[in-house]
Chains A and B, each alone.
Chain A
């Protein structure tokens, strides 16, 4: 079986014990769902709390007086003024302004930055960092020594506060060292579901103990990658390799909001990241197509890769992610659409098995985000 060549997270045996269905994902043998099933796992996370094993993602630490300045040469995001104890969304761009990966960056203080990158990109990201800023700061990958858990949902705070009351005081995108059951962890109040919740970086050898303790709480269920995908899609969050790639810029991916003001064309530290000239030109002149939210008007899910056509049947775009939104009780999608058709409520059609399915350009998130902002 191919699974023997796949990497395993520290929770692999626990997933099997819980009855998960395992699938290959980004080189890891990962749980796509547990016996509860994708639909109930999704709904449970929105109603109570779900525990996700996201240990396949890459954790990287940058150290040194120049680490923030150095990282700014690779991302269109303000890292220098990122306050200690805060996390920020960023993306690595290439020379054409294309997106190499998206990531979270936290300031740990003491000239130390903590990065979380996508599983499928982590080795490439590490090489990218070493190649471009390896002489300006110390780069340490924690791929083997640290695991990552996400505890998401409206009850996540009640559950985690039983182990560490101080987490209840944290607000969205705050980041702190927290001791959980005697283990030194890093906790951020963030996630990938649109719900309030936390991500917990934990030493690999203590991951199973912490996961079992969290799962023992009555509000918590184990949640697989299937529901992780439907949750993030309803929340309007991009998935790397699907909704963004090196073939689109942050402007085309509708991620201008993530480009910090000081790094934009008229900012105090304008440019200085790969592809800045092209990205700024696009900002000025506009782009041919952009990522938008799409709501199919029928019950049939519209999947990634489906062509999008206008009333005349002319191809005007492609669906980049799509599926069924259990909380919405309807299909949801996003895709790249020609500029002429991106206004809200524009009617367009996806081709599904040779038939036209009506869709409307829609606002994202499709379900309200419920981050805790204090």
Chain B
């Protein structure tokens, strides 16, 4: 499994051997959201970076998930429709949202690496 990349919106991305990128939210993000009770997944189609592609509903509130990069969503994690709690229980594993083919394969490497993401979390904690 390749190294994870992150966005400032607390999404994680993993570039898989087949060239597709898997997307989910980080442990920090699921903790902040609280109990997820519903996930609205993207359509299988192309999206532009920052398009709102998914919605997470916790008991209290709804949060949008943005497309991290330009690309085409090719697979969604349909298991979340019946088991949205997987986002809380296993955010980096079974709680993944979708897989997409990035328009620019090298763009993933330009996102935050683990160390940079941890600095982001620490900076937020100190703010």
- Contact between chains at A301 and B35 (CB < 8 Å): no
19 examples of A-B residue contacts, CB within 8 angstroms: A32-B60, A33-B34, A38-B34, A38-B58, A39-B34, A39-B35, A226-B34, A226-B59, A226-B60, A230-B59, A300-B40, A301-B37, A303-B62, A323-B59, A324-B57, A324-B59, A326-B37, A331-B38, A353-B55
The SS class assigned to the A binding surface is mixed
Contacts of B38 in A (CB 8 A): 299-301, 324, 331
The distance from the CB of A130 to the nearest CB of chain B, in whole angstroms, is 36
* Neighbour of B62 across the interface among A226, A229, A299, A301, CB < 8 A: A301
Contacts of B62 in A (CB 8 A): 301, 303
Closest to A226 in B: B60
Contacts of A353 in B (CB 8 A): 40, 55
Instruction: Spell out B's residues near A (CB within 8 Å).
Output: 34-35, 37-38, 40, 55, 57-62, 81
Contacts of A39 in B (CB 8 A): 34-35, 37, 59
Contact of A42 with B by CB under 8 A: yes
The distance from the CB of B122 to the nearest CB of chain A, in whole angstroms, is 17
Contacts of B35 in A (CB 8 A): 37-40, 326
Contacts of B34 in A (CB 8 A): 33, 37-39, 226
Knowing that A38-B59, A39-B37, A303-B61 are A-B contacts, what are 15 other residue pairs whose CB atoms are under 8 Å apart, sorted by A's residue number? Answer: A32-B60, A37-B34, A37-B35, A40-B35, A227-B59, A229-B60, A230-B60, A299-B38, A300-B38, A300-B40, A303-B62, A324-B37, A326-B59, A331-B38, A353-B40
- Contact between chains at A323 and B40 (CB < 8 Å): no
The count of A-to-B residue pairs whose CB atoms sit within 8 angstroms is 48
Considering the chains assembled together, what is the distance between the CA atoms of A11 and B81 in angstroms?
A: 39
The distance from the CB of B67 to the nearest CB of chain A, in whole angstroms, is 16
User: Which 7 A-B pairs rank lowest in CB-CB distance, beginning with the nearest?
Assistant: A39-B35, A324-B37, A38-B59, A301-B57, A324-B59, A226-B60, A300-B38
Contacts of B60 in A (CB 8 A): 32, 38, 226, 229-230, 323
* Neighbour of B57 across the interface among A42, A227, A300, CB < 8 A: A300
Contacts of A300 in B (CB 8 A): 38, 40, 57
Closest to B88 in A: A37
Considering the chains assembled together, what is the distance between the CA atoms of A323 and B35 in angstroms?
A: 12
Contacts of A301 in B (CB 8 A): 37-38, 57, 62
Considering the chains assembled together, what is the distance between the CA atoms of A42 and B37 in angstroms?
A: 14
Considering the chains assembled together, what is the distance between the CA atoms of A32 and B62 in angstroms?
A: 16
Chain A residues 30-61 with CB under 8 Å of chain B are 32-33, 37-40, 42
Considering the chains assembled together, what is the distance between the CA atoms of A171 and B40 in angstroms?
A: 45
The distance from the CB of B121 to the nearest CB of chain A, in whole angstroms, is 16
Residue of B34, B35, B38, B81 ringed by the most chain A CB atoms within 10 A = B35
Considering the chains assembled together, what is the distance between the CA atoms of A323 and B62 in angstroms?
A: 10
Closest to B61 in A: A303
Closest to A298 in B: B38
The distance from the CB of B27 to the nearest CB of chain A, in whole angstroms, is 14
The distance from the CB of A41 to the nearest CB of chain B, in whole angstroms, is 10
The distance from the CB of B57 to the nearest CB of chain A, in whole angstroms, is 5
Closest to B81 in A: A299
